């Protein structure tokens, strides 16, 4: 049960506001107990003078436990997803707009350069599912002006005049910037969001 407060506290001491905010050694972070923390919490480590984000749903690091070094300058919030370009390469954005077919409100996405050789239909299908945009209610990805898309679990090319794709049509490399899901505490449904590493968003002390 919470206690309502109608005014601010004034504290002029040199200690942290709360004991659980500050840790002397990096190794102390691994000893943080889940039952004494909220789901997400910023903590400070005096040993390396760094800020860490404690995430109760994160994997356990042998060095920092469920804490990850925080990089606030590398992450931004957007209400509309920008086009993935070199400007956003290795940047993380949190989408806070309306959930649509491609992006989910509250989820994090990382921009990176995709350079993938496509030799089979299954390889192309996986690329479309993972990186494609929704066009006319189907997932599609464009290469040299041709849209490749999936409908009824079959891969086609040319939205206006669909032709089924076979392995003979392939043998090219898709090179472009893409947005990719990042697994965080906001993303709990493995059926929707693949289980992925979040090292690009947070850095452990093992790096």
Would you list the domain boundaries of the chain?
19-70, 120-170
Highest average pLDDT, of 40-54, 73-87, 163-177, comes from: 163-177
Comparing 55 with 196, which gets the higher pLDDT? 55
Give the whole-angstrom CA distance, residue 15 versus residue 22. 9
Lowest mean pLDDT among 66-75, 129-138, 180-189: 180-189
Indicate whether 196 pLDDT > 70.
no
- Residue 173: strand, helix, or coil: strand
Using H for helix, E for strand and C for coil, what is the string for 55-90?
Answer: ECCCCCECCCECEEECCHHHEEEECCCCCCCHHHCC
Residue 73 has what pLDDT?
55
76: how many CB neighbours lie within 10 A of its CB?
12
Residue 121 dihedral angles phi and psi, to the nearest 5°: -65, -40
Lowest mean pLDDT among 61-65, 162-166, 187-191: 187-191
H or E stretch at 109: strand 108-118
- pLDDT tens track for 124-160: 999 999 999 988 889 999 888 899 999 999 999 999 9
Give the whole-angstrom CA distance, residue 101 versus residue 27. 42
126: how many CB neighbours lie within 10 A of its CB?
13
Give the whole-angstrom CA distance, residue 192 versus residue 7. 43
Lowest mean pLDDT among 70-74, 83-87, 124-128: 70-74
């Amino acid at each position: 049960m919470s206690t309502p407060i109608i005014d601010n506290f004034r504290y002029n001491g040199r200690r942290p506001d709360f004991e659980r905010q500050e840790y002397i050694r990096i190794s102390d972070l691994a000893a943080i107990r889940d039952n004494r923390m909220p789901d997400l919490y910023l903590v400070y480590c005096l040993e390396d003078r760094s800020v860490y984000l404690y995430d109760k749903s994160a994997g356990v690091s042998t060095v920092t436990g469920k804490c990850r070094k925080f990089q606030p300058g590398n992450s931004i919030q957007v209400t509309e997803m920008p086009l993935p370009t070199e400007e956003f390469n290795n940047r993380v954005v949190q989408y806070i707009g309306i959930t649509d077919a491609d992006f989910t409100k509250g989820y994090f996405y990382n921009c990176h350069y995709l350079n993938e050789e496509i030799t089979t239909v299954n390889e192309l299908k996986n690329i479309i599912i993972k990186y494609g945009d929704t066009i006319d209610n189907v997932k599609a990805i464009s290469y040299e002006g041709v849209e490749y898309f999936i409908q009824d679990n079959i891969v086609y090319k040319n939205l206006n005049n669909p032709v089924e794709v076979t392995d003979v049509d392939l043998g090219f490399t898709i090179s472009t910037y893409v947005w990719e899901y990042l697994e965080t505490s906001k993303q709990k449904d493995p059926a929707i969001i693949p289980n992925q590493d979040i090292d690009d968003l947070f850095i452990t002390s093992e790096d």
